[in-house]
Amino acid sequence: MPYGFAPNIRDYYMQSRDALDRALASPEFLRATADIAGLWTERFAAGRKILLCGNGGSAGDAQHIAGELLCRFRFDRAPLPALALTVDSSVMTAIGNDYAYDQIFSRQVLGLATEGDVVVGISTSGRSPNVVKALEAARSKGATTVAFTGEDPRDLGALADLVLKAPSASTPIIQQIHMTAAHIICELVEVTLFPKPNA
Q: For residue 54, what are the CA distances in angstroms to 59, 156, 188? A: 4, 12, 23
Ligand-binding site membership of 16 (annotated): no
The whole-angstrom separation of Cα 131 and Cα 53 is 7
Ligand-binding site membership of 125 (annotated): yes
The residues, ordered by sequence, that sit 6+ positions from 60 with a Cβ below 8 Å of its Cβ are none
The whole-angstrom separation of Cα 131 and Cα 122 is 7
Number of C-beta neighbours around residue 21 at 10 A:
11
Ligand-binding site membership of 123 (annotated): yes
Ligand-binding site membership of 183 (annotated): yes
Ligand-binding site membership of 97 (annotated): yes
Cα dihedral sign, 124-125-129-132 = positive
- Provide DSSP, 138-153: HHHTT-EEEEEE-S--
The whole-angstrom separation of Cα 53 and Cα 83 is 9
Ligand-binding site membership of 124 (annotated): yes
Ligand-binding site membership of 64 (annotated): yes
Which residues are known binding-site members for substrate?
Answer: 55-57, 68, 97-98, 123-125, 128, 175
Which residues are known binding-site members for Zn(2+)?
Answer: 64, 68, 175, 183
Which residues are known binding-site members?
Answer: 55-57, 64, 68, 97-98, 123-125, 128, 175, 183
